[in-house]
Amino acid sequence: MDNQNKAARASQADHEKFEQGLLETRWTETGEPFYVIKDGNDLNEFAPLAKLILEDEQAIAHDFTSKVVSESGEQEVSFEYKSGWFLEGLGEGEIE
């Protein structure tokens, strides 16, 4: 099964909207990104955008939980990143 064919694609409009609201990208100690979003934006709207763009880029080869946080640090919304890489799931017996 080809995960790339079933994955949603981020449109140019998605990228532009995300970039307009993005203040900065930060990285955890384990090398996973999370995003600081300018105050006044709806984090419940930006979390799915961040997920869509990350999954579209397929730059990280493992699944993880990330988040978007408000500039003030008062709010955050988590999302699950799914890499979609070919070997993902091999250790769990999904691929023979």
pLDDT digits (tens, 9 = 90+) for 12-40: 999 999 999 999 999 999 999 999 999 99
> What is the 3 state secondary structure string of the chain?
CCHHHHCCCCCHHHHHHHHHHEEEEEECCCCCEEEEECCCCCHHHHHHHHHHHHHHHCCCCCCEEEEEEECCCCCEEEEEECCCCCCCCHHHCCCC
What is the pTM for the complete model shown?
Answer: 0.78
Half-sphere exposure of 28 (CA within 13 A, CB side): 10
For residue 52, which amino acid is it?
L
Confidence band (pLDDT; 50, 70, 90) for 2? very low
